[in-house]
Structure 1
C-alpha cells in the first residue's frame, strides 16, 4: 500500500481525504456539536491548531450540496458509525473564512470583504431561480459588488434567507477566524469602522435570523465587550480553558505516537514531547498539531509553529508594556510558572492600556499554557479566574529567547537564558 503523506498546510477536508493524506480522525467533533445543540458556538484556539480543517470537515458533513459524494468522505471514519450520521447532507451551509481579510485601510478591507461575499454568492447563483423580483435584485447587487456598505452588513443574513427559501431547510453558518479582521483593523488604525460593520454583520446573521439552524465560529480571542455578541443569549463559548471539546483541536499523545509510528519515527517521541507537547486544553494534554505535521514531513526537530503563528498585536502590546511584564517574561523563559488573572473576555481597545491583558492574549494565542499544578481556589472567591501559567515547550521557549528577550533585554541576557535551556 502506498505510504500516505503528512498533510502539511492542507486545510480542505475533501482534498485531504480524496488525495490520501494522513488524517487524524476528529470527526466525533460533529457528534459533540449535535449532542450539545447550542444554537451558536464559538471555539477559540491558537492559530494553526486545526480550526479551519475542522470547519471544512463540518461543512462537507452537513452540506446538502453534493451530499452523496460528500458522504463517501466519511466512510470508515469514526462518525460513520454514529447515530448522527443521519444528519449528514441535510442542510445548506455557508462557510466564510475571514483569516485573510486584511488591508491597510477600512476601504481596502471592505473591498476585500466584497470580493469574499461575491465568491460565496457566486457559489449559490442557482438560488436566484426561486427568488422574487425584489430578492433577485438584492442578490445581484451583492453578487456584482455594487451595493452599499449598509447592505453588505446584512448580506450573510440575506443569503441564509435565500438558501432557506430554496431548500426548505434552515441554514448552518460557519465563520472561520471571526476576529482576524478586527485585530488587523486595530493594528492598522481603522478599528471603529471595522467594529461598526462587523457588529451588524455577525449579529444579523446569528442573533435575529429565523433561517439559522446552527452557527459556528472560530477565532483566537473571545472579544465580548465590543458588543459583537451583545444580546446573543444563545452563544456557547468554548475556550482552551473549557473541558468540553478539548481533544478536537490539537493532538493527543496517543495520536502523536500513532502518527510517528506510521512514519517510522516513534523512537523520537521523547524529543518530540520536549519540543511540541506541554499544552493543557481543558483537562487534556495537547501537542501542537502544526509542528507535529511539519515534523512528520521534514523529519527535523526545529521551531515550525512559533515563526508562522502571527504576532503583530503581541509585538505592539510588548512595545507598550511596563517593566513588570518584561520581568515576568524573563521568569517564564527561565521555566517558572506564574499566577495570572485571566478574564472571561476582552476588548481589543483595552489590550494596549492594561499589562494584565497581555497574559490573556499570550495564553489564548498559544505562547503560554496552564500549568498542570493549579492552586486550590474557593469557587466563591472573586479570584476564581487565576491560573498558573507557563511556557509549554522548548519551541516556544526558543521563540521567546530569540525574539522577545533579544528585543527588550538585549543580547547579553538572551545569551544567558538560552544557555540554561
Structure 2
C-alpha cells in the first residue's frame, strides 16, 4: 500500500482503514495455520512488528471481526478461498505483557492479575448469558472483583478457565490464544532481582494455558528471547519454538531488502539505498539475510534523516547491565566489536537468565537474540571434532547498533562527564598533574557503576579499567587507533593509543596496576612496577616499527588502591624510561 507513513500504530485495522503505508505480511497467517502447531513461540528483536502481527492474526480469526473482509480483501491471504472461509470464525483471547515493567515481584504479579481481570470484564457477556453453572459462575465473579488480591490458583488458571467459558458460549468452538511480549516481565525480573519468584508463577500460568488446555485450538507467544525450557517451559513439550536462526517465518517479521528498496523508491529517497543499507541492514533470520528493522526504516522515510531510531526506543537496561558488569574477557571482545571486527563464540538460543552474570556464551546469546549481534558464519557439527560445540562468528548488526553502544558507554561516565573530558584533554596534552586530578574524580564518581554483587569494583577495579578503555575508544576513535591487551615486544600492554596521522599527534601507552600490599609499600611502588613492566617488556616496539619516534611516545602508569588513583609518566622516572 502506498499511503502515508504512520509511526507507532500497532493496530492492524487502524493501518488498513487509514490507508497508511503497509507491507503485506498476511502470508504469515497461511504459513502458521498450515504448520498445524498447537503452541508456537516466535522470538524476534523489539520493534520488528510482533505486536502488529498479533493484531493482524487476531482480527483475521476473531469472531469479533466476522465479516470484515474489507481489512484483508486487497492482501495476499485473501487470494485463496480456504483462508477467506476462516476469517472471523474463532473465539480469540489476546493479551500483551509489553507494559509490565515493574521493579518488584508484587507489582508485576498485580499488573498481570489486572490484565487477567480486564479480560473477564471484556467477556462479561458470557456470565450475563446464563450458560454458566455453579462454581463456574463463582470463579467468573471472583475474576471480575478481586484483581488486587487474586490468589495464585485463580490467576494461573484464568486463561484456562476463560477458554472453557468461550468454548461453551460459542457452541464448542475451540479458542485461539495470543500472548504478545511474554518475556518483558521476565527480563525486568532478572534486572531487578525477583527472577525466581516470577518463574514459578509464569510456569504455572503458561502450563495451564498452552499445555493442559483442552479448549485450545492454537496459540502463539511472541518475545525477544527464548527462555530456557528448564525455567518456565519445562512442561510444554508441545511448544514449537522459532528463533532468529530458524527458517520458519524468516520474512514475516521485519522488511526484506527488496521491500525496503521499493519503499525508498516510492517515497523518492531511492538515492539513499546504500547509506540505508549501512545504517540499518544486517539482521539475519534463518538463512535469510538482509532483513531490516521496520521501525528504523519507517522513521527514516518519515524524517529523511539518519539516526539511531531503533536503538533509542528503550533504556536497554539489560544489555547495559550485562556489558557493564561483565568480566575483562567480554569487554575485550566487545572492544573488537566496536572496532568493526568479529568474535567467535558458542551460542545457546535457550537463554538461561541465572547464567547471565558470568557466562560468556549466555551473554553473547542474549545479545544475538536481542538483535545487537548478527551471525556471519557458523560451524556445522560435521565440520568440527566430535564432542565439541559449534562456534558462531558474530559482529555488531549495523552502524545504528554501533552508535547505540557508543552512547551507552558515554552514559557510564555521565556522573563524571566533566572530569572525564578534562582527563582526555590532559592526557593528550601530557599534563600529568591534571591527569591525576581529573582521573581521581572519574574513579570516585563511576566505580559504583561497575559494581557486581558480592565483589564490588572498589576492591576489584579491573571492570572499571575495561569500561574506561571502551570510553577512550569511543572518544578518541576519530583520530586514534585504540587497542588493549594486545601483544607488543615481549608482553601484552593494557592500552595503546596510536595516532591515525603520526605526523600530527603523539602516541600513548597505558599500564594499569592494582596496589598489592604483600609486594608494595604504597602506590608509588605500584607505579614503579608498572613503568618497569613497560620498559622491560618493550611495549613501544610496535609503535617504533610503524615509524613513530620514541620522543613522540608517552608511557603512563595508572596505580589503583580502592578509589584512589596515582598516575605517573615514564618521562619523570628516568630509570624506567625507554632506551
TM-score range, shorter chain: over 0.9
Note if contact 2:243-2:349 (Cα within 8 Å) is conserved in structure 1: no
Q: Is the 8 A contact 2:58 2:92 kept in 1?
A: yes
1:64 equivalent in structure 2:
63
Distance 1:410 1:279, change over 3 A: closer
What is the total number of aligned residue pairs between the two structures?
418
Aligned to 1:358: 363
Higher strand residue share: 2
1:132 matches 2:192:
no
Kept in 1, the 8 Å contact 2:26–2:76? The answer is yes
Provide the rounded CA distance (Å) in 2 between the counterparts of 1:236 and 1:419. 50
Matches within 5 A, 1:133-212: 133-146=134-147, 147-167=150-170, 168-212=172-216
Give, in whole Å, the separation in 1 of the partners of 2:64 and 2:479: 57
- Tell me which of 72, 75, 79 is aligned to 1:74: 72
Residue matched to 1:219: 223
1:105 Cα deviation (Å)?
1.7
Name the counterpart of 2:27.
Answer: 28
Mapped contact 1:341–1:383 kept (Cα < 8 A): no
Q: Tell me the equivalent position of 1:88.
A: 87
Specify the SS of the correspondent of 1:94. strand
Q: CA deviation at 1:351?
A: 1.1
The answer on whether the counterparts of 2:379 and 2:390 sit within 8 Å (CA) in structure 1 is no
Separation (CA, whole Å) in 2 of partners of 1:376 and 1:109: 41
**Greater displacement, 349-358 / 323-332:** 349-358
Q: 1:344 to 1:413 in 2, by over 3 A?
A: closer
The CA distance in 2 between the partners of 1:219 and 1:291, in whole Å, is 19
Moved more, 139-148 or 406-415: 406-415
Mapped to 2, the partners of 1:400 and 1:320 lie a distance apart of: 15
Q: How does 1:8-19 map to 2 (within 5 A)?
A: 8-19=7-18
For 1:277 and 1:197, the matched residues in 2 are separated by 38
Structure 2 residue matching 1:214: 3-state secondary structure: strand
Aligned counterparts of 1:420 and 1:139: Cα–Cα separation in 2: 67
- Relative to the length of structure 1, the TM-score reads 0.94
The CA RMSD over aligned residues, in Å, is 2.0
How far the C-alpha of 1:34 sits from its partner, in A, is 1.1
Shift of 1:158: 0.8
Q: Which secondary structure does the structure 2 equivalent of 1:353 belong to?
A: coil
Q: Distance in 1 between matches of 2:174 and 2:480?
A: 57
Contact 1:64 1:90 in 2 (8 A): yes
> Secondary structure of the equivalent of 1:6?
coil
Post-superposition shift, 1:384? Answer: 5.2
Identify if the C-alpha distance between structure 1 residues 412 and 191 changes in structure 2 by more than 3 Å, giving closer, same or farther: closer
- For residues 369-417 of structure 1, give each alpha carbon's deviation from its aligned partner in whole angstroms, at most 9, with x where no partner exists: 111x444552684445421111121111111223237742254321233
SS in 2 for 1:87: coil
SS at match of 2:226: coil
Indicate if the aligned counterparts of 1:5 and 1:21 stay in contact, CA closer than 8 A.
yes
- What is the distance in 2 between the residues matched to 1:51 and 1:259? 20
Structure 2 gaps of 5+ residues are: 413-466, 482-579
2:221 alignment partner, SS class: strand
The equivalent residue for 1:274 is: 278
Instruction: Please give the alpha-carbon distance, in whole angstroms, between the structure 2 residues aligned to 1:397 and 1:137.
Output: 55
**Which residue of 259, 265, 268 maps to 1:264?**
268
**Contact 2:93-2:178 within 8 A present in 1 as well:** yes
1:138-180 C-alpha deviation (Å, 9 max, x unpaired): 1111122354232111101111111111112110110101111
Q: Structure 1, residues 14-72: CA drift from partner, whole Å, max 9, x if none?
A: 11111121000000001110111111100011011111110110000110123113x32
* Offset at residue 118 of structure 1 (A): 2.2
Which has the larger displacement, 381-390 or 187-196? 381-390
Alpha-carbon distance in 2 for matches of 1:174, 1:121: 16
Is structure 2 residue 311 aligned with structure 1 residue 306?
A: yes
Distance change (3 Å), C-alpha of 1:323 and 1:35: same
Partner in structure 1 of residue 348 of structure 2: 343
CA distance in 2, matches of 1:44, 1:215: 14
CA distance in 2, matches of 1:90, 1:419: 63
Structure with the bigger RCO (C-alpha within 8 Å, sep 6+) is: 1
Q: Where in structure 1 are there 5+ consecutive unaligned residues?
A: none
Q: Give per-residue Cα distances to partners, 1:293-344, cap 9 Å, x unaligned.
A: 1111111111101111442111222232110111111111111122211114
CA distance in structure 1 between the partners assigned to 2:367 and 2:478 by the alignment: 20
Offset from partner CA, 1:188-224 (integer Å, 9 cap, x none): 2222221121111111010100000001000111112
| 1:322 aligned residue | 327
| Distance in 2, Cα, partners of 1:270 & 1:263 | 16
Tell whether the 8 Å contact from 2:349 to 2:369 is kept in structure 1 after alignment: no
Report the CA distance between 1:86 and its aligned residue. Answer: 2.2
Task: Give the structure 2 partner of residue 252 of structure 1.
Answer: 256
Whole-angstrom distance in 2 between the partners of 1:273 and 1:333: 18
CA deviation vs aligned residue, 1:262-302 (integer Å, no higher than 9, x gap):
21111111111110001111111201111001111111111
CA distance in 2, matches of 1:379, 1:76: 47
CA distance in 2, matches of 1:137, 1:374: 55
TM-score, reference length from structure 2: 0.69
